[in-house]
Structure formats: C-alpha cells, structure tokens
Structure 1
Amino acid sequence: MLQDSKLKFLSQVGKALAGQFGKDCEIVIHKIDSNDMDQSIVSIENGHVTSRHLGDGPSKVVLEALQKDPDELVDRINYLTRTHDGRVLKSSTLYIKDEEGNLEAIFSINYDVSSLIAAESAIKALTATPEEKEAESEPNLIPQDVNELLDELIRESIKIVGKPVALMTKEDKVKCIQFLNSKGAFLITKSGDKISKFFNISKYTLYSYIG
C-alpha cells in the first residue's frame, strides 16, 4: 500500500520535473490497488498533455504491470507513446515498490515532442537521400479513460488475428480473449460485458475461453 509520505515525496518530485521542463512535460503517478484500478491516477502535473485528470484510470503500461511478477518489472526509460489525437510523446516509466518488493505505484513521465519531430522532419526532407530508409513503429496509445484503453486493446487483439469478428472461428476468438486477458483487460470494471458483446459470445463462453 502506497503510504501518504511516499506519495507526497513522489508528487513533490513530479512537480519539480514539470516545472523544470515546462508545459509539454506531463508527470503522472498511478497508485496500484487491484481492487480499484478504474481511478488509479493519484497525482498529475500538466495533464493537458494527455487530457487526463486526477481519478482517471490506468494506461496500457499499468495494466500490463499488474499481470507480471513484480520481480520482472524493470524501469523503462525513453520510449515513444502517442495520445488519442495523434501527438507523439517521449515517455519513461518507473516502478515504485515497497520494502517487500510489491508494486505500489507507477511514476510516468510523458514529454510532448510533436513539434520537435515536425521540425526534424522538415530538416530531414532537405537532407535525406533516396537510399535512406527508416523503420516505422506505432507508439503505444495513452488513453484518456479506461473505455478508450479497452477499445484500443480490443483493436490490438483483432490485428493479431487479422480478420473481422464476423469471419472469426472459435479458435480466433479464443486467441483474442486470451490476448486481452494477458494484457489485463479484465481488470477494467464491466469489461466482460463489453468484450462478450463485441465478440458476440456469452459471458459464460467468454470466461471459458480465458481458462
């Protein structure tokens, strides 16, 4: 359980970082409580970067962390994510653990580099040669709320199978459901109702696919 004194310290550090790097730097602290993950954000600075507020729910990174053994969690520094409106962020994720090694909070830094990328692209257009090729990768979405997060996870499951729900076999749906389970989708309140309806299966069938 995240103690108030530790939360106060982390919030103080977050405020300092946001002040140092300005309005494009968002600092988010998620409190880890498996009984209440729909309102995981307990501290946020410059929330306009991802349009999130105090009391909003988890990101994909948070749900994935809950599915892992805390010993496997290693801080992830300097990777790309994206917002719902397409802006690109440079992010870092720190896993805060208690004395027993249990995960109790996630400290995230999200810096909006969209304007820098636009400037870089303009310069690259002038300097690039035909032989140059860049690897393209899609940054992870940082959702505004748990509903958007669940929609994103469902879209990812469909990409893995590679066909629309109407054409899916039982094996395809099982693969989708097990992917969603591995990503922590069922930690979201009432996610079972939405997922079973989307895949046109009963809740009984849904949970049999998880097993």
Structure 2
Amino acid sequence: MENDRSIADRDRARKILDLLSQVVEPLAVALGEGCEVVVHDLTNLENSIYAIGGGVTGRRVGSPPTDLLLQHVLGGAKSNIIGYATKLPGGREGRSSTIIVRDPVDDSAVAALCLNIDVTNVRQAHRLLGSLLGGDPESMVLPVPETPSEAFPRTVAELTTQMMKEVIDSTGIPVELMKKSHKIDVVAALNERGVFQVKEAVEDVASALDVTRFTIYNYLNELQDRSLEGIS
C-alpha cells in the first residue's frame, strides 16, 4: 500500500511538472528579452531544473536549484517569494520571483515556477531620467526589496562549492587552522542551508575541510544528537 501511494505521489508530481512546463516557453516569449522562466522539480533537488525558457542565467534542464531555493525548500517552502533582488551572472541586476506549487492532495511542495528578469537597463534608464529631470538620480531607481543573495549554479559542483566558500569565509579562519569545533560549526551552517540535500555534498565538504567523509557523517550525527538534547 505504501509503495502504491509513493507511485501515485510521483505520478501527480510529474503531471504538475508537465503542465507547468507547457507555459515556460510562451511565458518567456511574452515577457520578452531579458526574462527567464524556470520550472524546478522539488522532488529531485539534485537536478531540479525540469524546464527552462529564456537565457538570463545560462542554466539548462538538469541544473541544480539556487542556494536560496534550496534553503527555502529545506525550511518547508511555506510561501512564495515575490520581487526580490538578485545578482545575475556577469554582475547584472535582476529581479526574481519564486512561486511554490503544491500537490492538491497532500499539500506538499512539488514544484517551483521561477521568473528571473534582467533589470540592469531599466535601472540605468531610471538613473538617466533622474539626471535629465534635474533631480536626485538615485530617487528614480526602482526600490529593491531586501533579501539574501542568490547564486545561479549551472552544476551541482558549482552549487556546493559556492555555498561552502561562503560559509568557510564567514568564519574568518583558514581551514588549516580550524579546530574540530570550527569545522562542526561549518557543517552546521551548511546543513541549515540545505547543502546535504545534494548527494555529492558530503564528499565535497569533507575535501574542503580536509577530513574524511566519515568524519562529516560523525559531525552530522553529533549535531543531530545536540538538537535532540536541546543543545545549541
């Protein structure tokens, strides 16, 4: 019975993904140049991009999720994220929206419909208009909602590498000088950001921290024990 339910769940998820995929190319064309439309399969986080139209981030079908989407899913993906600022490849300015699509039967998050729009030229035009009108150019710039930064990896390796670099750099301690407590803190931060939802992540993190993959598993088990005991 459990296996039958799992098959039924997968079938529903696939139908939702296939339905969303039908609107990707038409929507990308309708929104015009500088817009990208992406459907993510949230049941396959390692290679989540199920369909993509437009060419803003250089990704393709089979690419992994962004770090922000990964963390959002790990937190339960309880809401949509609309109109947040992003930095697109090449340093261009973007505005993105992530719409979570749920299974109508069990309310689980099965897909994300994402829009990424390059607004670099729009912002430059606003600054120019502000200058021509004699006002403060910055007052003409579109407001930017505050949000964590988002990376657009093309491969799983890019995703894990960037997230590891950010977390390790944030400690301010070179890996070769880290003690066990520092490395556990790094693993904890990476775990909170959803890195270990990716299969190859354990090997990559072990290499970055100069330990074995079994040590990473031990760290994760220790963190789980702390959580169960209510220790922060």
| Stretch moving more, 170-179 or 82-91 | 82-91
Report Cα offsets for 1:70-106 as digits up to 9, x if no partner. 5xx1101000122332222100001111121111111
Aligned amino acid, residue 50 of structure 1: T
SS of 1:54 mapped into structure 2: coil
Report Cα offsets for 1:81-134 as digits up to 9, x if no partner. 2233222210000111112111111111100112223334455677449xxxx9
SS of 1:30 mapped into structure 2: strand
Report Cα offsets for 1:136-171 as digits up to 9, x if no partner. 987322222221111111122124312222232322
Using the TM superposition, give the Cα deviation of residue 182 of structure 1 relative to its aligned residue in structure 2, in angstroms: 1.2
Equivalent residue number for residue 7 of structure 1: 17
Give yes or no for contact 2:63–2:153 (8 Å, CA) kept in 1.
Answer: no
Query: For the structure 1 residues 152 and 19, does the alpha-carbon distance in structure 2 shift closer, same or farther, using more than 3 Å as the test?
Result: same
Corresponding pairs, count: 203
Equivalent residue number for residue 89 of structure 1: 94
Matched, 1:186 2:196: yes
Equivalent residue number for residue 52 of structure 1: 59
Give yes or no for contact 2:45–2:65 (8 Å, CA) kept in 1.
Answer: yes
Q: Which runs of 5+ in 2 are unaligned?
A: 1-9, 138-142, 222-232
Give yes or no for contact 1:153–1:185 (8 Å, CA) kept in 2.
Answer: yes
| Identical amino acids, percent of aligned pairs | 28
| Structure with higher helix content | 2
Equivalent residue number for residue 32 of structure 2: 22
Using the TM superposition, give the Cα deviation of residue 189 of structure 1 relative to its aligned residue in structure 2, in angstroms: 2.7
CA distance in 2, matches of 1:190, 1:101: 29
Using the TM superposition, give the Cα deviation of residue 4 of structure 1 relative to its aligned residue in structure 2, in angstroms: 4.4
CA distance in 1, matches of 2:13, 2:216: 37
SS of 2:106 mapped into structure 1: coil
Q: Which runs of 5+ in 1 are unaligned?
A: none
Give yes or no for contact 2:68–2:150 (8 Å, CA) kept in 1.
Answer: no
Matched, 1:107 2:117: no
Aligned amino acid, residue 158 of structure 1: I
**Aligned residue runs from structure 1 range 159-178, under 5 A:** 159-178=169-188
Equivalent residue number for residue 213 of structure 2: 203
CA distance in 2, matches of 1:146, 1:21: 29
Equivalent residue number for residue 74 of structure 1: 79
Query: For the structure 1 residues 122 and 41, does the alpha-carbon distance in structure 2 shift closer, same or farther, using more than 3 Å as the test?
Result: same
CA RMSD of aligned residues (A): 2.7
Using the TM superposition, give the Cα deviation of residue 30 of structure 1 relative to its aligned residue in structure 2, in angstroms: 0.7
> Which structure has the bigger radius of gyration?
2
Give yes or no for contact 2:36–2:53 (8 Å, CA) kept in 1.
Answer: yes
Give yes or no for contact 1:84–1:144 (8 Å, CA) kept in 2.
Answer: no
CA distance in 2, matches of 1:157, 1:118: 33
Query: For the structure 1 residues 138 and 21, does the alpha-carbon distance in structure 2 shift closer, same or farther, using more than 3 Å as the test?
Result: same
TM-score (norm 1): 0.83
CA distance in 2, matches of 1:3, 1:189: 21
Query: For the structure 1 residues 74 and 138, does the alpha-carbon distance in structure 2 shift closer, same or farther, using more than 3 Å as the test?
Result: closer
